[in-house]
Amino acid sequence: MAALAATQSQDSIFSDMKTLLRRQILGLLEEAANTTESWLVAVLDARATRVVSSFVTMFDIMEQRVTLVESLEKARQSFPQMEVVYILEPSEESVTLLIEDFSKPKAPYGDVHLLFLSKLSDQRFAQLRGCEALIARVKSLKEINVDFLAHESSVFHLDDTHCFAQLYRSSNLAPFAERTAARLVSVCAAVHECPVVRFREGSPMGHVAHYLVGMLEQLKTSAVNWWWHGAPGHTERPQGSLLLLDRSEDCLSPLLHFCTYECLVHDLLPVQANNMIKVKIQGRDKQALLNEGDEVWVKLRHKHIADVLNALTTDVDDIKKRNATAVKVQRGEGAGPSMEELGKIVKAMPEYQAQLDRYSQHIQMAQECMSHIQASGNALLNLIVEVEQTLATGSDMTGKAVKPNTLIDQMVDHLIIGDVQAKLRIIMIYVAATGRNLADEDLDRLVRAANLSAGDSQLVSALRRFQDSSEPASSAAGSGITSPEKKKGWGLSRMLGGSSSAATSSTLEDYSYESSRFSCPIKSIAEALVQDKLSTSEFPVAEGQAPAKAVAQSMRRHGHGATAWQKRTFSGARSIVFMAGGLCYGELQALYEVSEKHGKEILMGGTSIMKPEQFMAELRSMR
């Protein structure tokens, strides 16, 4: 625990999650470098590599006198004259490989610095102590409490992509609950929060809450110099809250097509797990990284695809107008510039070309998304508007309720054409939207029309069983909000006389496009949370904790030179919203909208950030 920050500073109060993590890990590497005059070698296991690379770059690491970064799992050259920093998951596999390094006749490195992502168990610590050759070289050992991936400045995930079976089908929930709680503690430690923990009454997340409260108390007592928001002497902002949800709350959102830029890019284009995508710039293939270092991506990612294309065209025209002389030189038009003008053009040309390349990348990606949507006579667009959004909301484009038999007829028309995955996905959307009100004869008709294989039919059945086995949860926009102004859901299940947590949470909100009528259930739940209107009977505070006390609130403002995240203004406590089973991109967008609308900071997290095919794969694992 010694690696946790000892003092409070303005930076730590106002910094985003990635900045805090970057500062922590680079500070630890600097401490190790300061103990020797030689250069360092860094050795990371597979999980530590994924964790650390989510918030620092190779260049950042090299600046701390690290000459080489290697993988624990691979064969490595020995550097006995150099000190080594191991950054490892405290698992049996990693500790065993570490010990094997120092069980050789000649040790591969000099002195050793050990940084573990989370707490070492007594068993692993005893395993370490049993290797005398290693212990004799250990110069420092720290548990750094960084056991999660920083997806964005306000988004994290636990890199746990296959947890459905443990969460929903295992007779013993303890391993999942304990592992998840331990990783959530590291999130809280990194952002200086000891939050009030809440969960849906009756959900499996109550087990996670139980472990989490105990671990937070242990953190407070064992990390003597660690502080948290709302603690005595640290009241610049109030104590935060952590809301634990699980995927059974909403099976609909992970399946829908959302027509915003980020959602479509991850849904329709071949984006790799590390957020890299191949694009063609000036006739050459290039790997582009979709992250917050790309200002164009940050500016456009939550906009509707139609607005994105308009914005890109306008911005490119503006860039060319501001660089009119450079454009003429490129084209060989007009009279040649003077030597002075030419010098200015040459200096400005790299920046100008870099801007055009960046915009060219996004124009290409946006056009590819539109090509998918408009293919075969706008087949996907029509599917989204006429079927998906109607299923999700229970109403057509005019707001008129749709009769079930009419909806089935529309679906059959769409199922006659299209690829297998598209047909499977729309049937699963229907199942998710109707919940327990789904008639067997209607589902049989859809499956026959789609001509699904036996395996795909089993997947549809798996979704149905999953929903049937989950306790029906009312919407936070309904009885979950302790306010007289309760919004009524208008989803298909309500129209049929039932209640589905997914469908009924979609509220009558203003929307600009017919393809974006649905609102994710998590949005109304988060709005209730940040407004302190979330029902304490439906979402109780974990046992052993008291509700947060109100303290004086401060506004967070940042001036010139601040990052895009820092330019946002927040007031009051930070909320952390966590989804076990994975958070989808449509839900990320919804939570960003709540944060911006109410001026409240929300950290958004899940066991993973999932795409539709990943949700479907998880359901397959439960068959």
Question: Which domains are assigned to the chain?
Answer: 10-147 (3.40.50.2060), 153-250+535-575+582-620 (3.40.50.1910)
One DSSP character per residue, 84-126 reads EEEEE--SHHHHHHHHHHTSSSS-SBSSEEEEESSPPPHHHHH
Spatial distance between the Cα atoms of 124 and 144, rounded to a whole number of angstroms = 16
Residue 513 and residue 304 in contact, taking contact as beta carbons nearer than 8 Å: yes
| pLDDT at position 405 | 64
Q: DSSP state, 550?
A: P
Tell me the per-residue pLDDT of 27-72, one tens digit each, with 9 for 90 and over: 999 999 999 998 999 999 999 999 999 999 989 999 999 999 999 9
Residue 500 is classified by DSSP as -
pLDDT in the model for residue 354: 82
Query: Which one is predicted more confidently, 93 or 499?
Result: 93
> 15-19, 180-184, 340-344 — which one is most confidently predicted on average?
180-184
Least confident window among 287-291, 337-341, 579-583: 337-341
* pLDDT at residue 325, rounded to an integer: 57
Sign of the C-alpha dihedral, residues 320, 370, 293, 275? Answer: negative
pLDDT in tens, 197-212: 999 999 999 999 999 9
User: Once rounded to an integer, what is the mean pLDDT over residues 147-164?
Assistant: 95
Average pLDDT over residues 119-142: 95
pLDDT at 414: 80
Query: Would the pLDDT of 613 be above 60?
Result: yes
Please enumerate in sequence order all residues whose Cβ is within 8 A of that of 421, keeping only pairs 6 or more positions apart, or say none: 613
Residue 234 has pLDDT above 70, yes or no: yes
Q: What's the average model confidence in pLDDT over 66-82?
A: 95
CA dihedral 148, 151, 157, 162 (to 10 degrees): -110
pLDDT, averaged across the chain: 84
pLDDT digits (tens, 9 = 90+) for 503-523: 334 444 556 788 999 999 999
More confident residue, 406 or 132: 132
615, pLDDT greater than 80: yes
- In this predicted model, what pLDDT tens digit does every residue of 291-334 receive, in sequence order? 999 999 999 999 999 999 999 999 988 887 877 655 555 555 55
pLDDT of residue 332: 55
Six-digit token pair at 84?
A: 């080594």
In the predicted structure, residue 356 carries a pLDDT above the cut 70: yes
Q: How much is the pLDDT for 406? A: 74
- pLDDT of the residue at 364: 94
More confident residue, 555 or 232: 232
Per-residue pLDDT at 330: 58
**pLDDT higher than threshold 50 for residue 557:** no
| pTM of this structure | 0.86
pLDDT digit string, tens, across residues 410-458: 888 888 776 888 899 999 999 998 887 888 999 999 999 999 999 999 9
Confidence of residue 269 (pLDDT cuts 50, 70, 90): very high
User: What are the tokens at 567?
Assistant: 């330019």
Mean of the pLDDT values across residues 586-597? 96
What's the gap between Cα 531 and its chain centre?
23
pLDDT band at 578; cut points 50, 70, 90: very high
User: What's the pLDDT score for residue 301?
Assistant: 96
Question: What pLDDT was estimated at residue 327?
Answer: 55
Average pLDDT over residues 596-602: 95
What pLDDT does 328 receive? 54
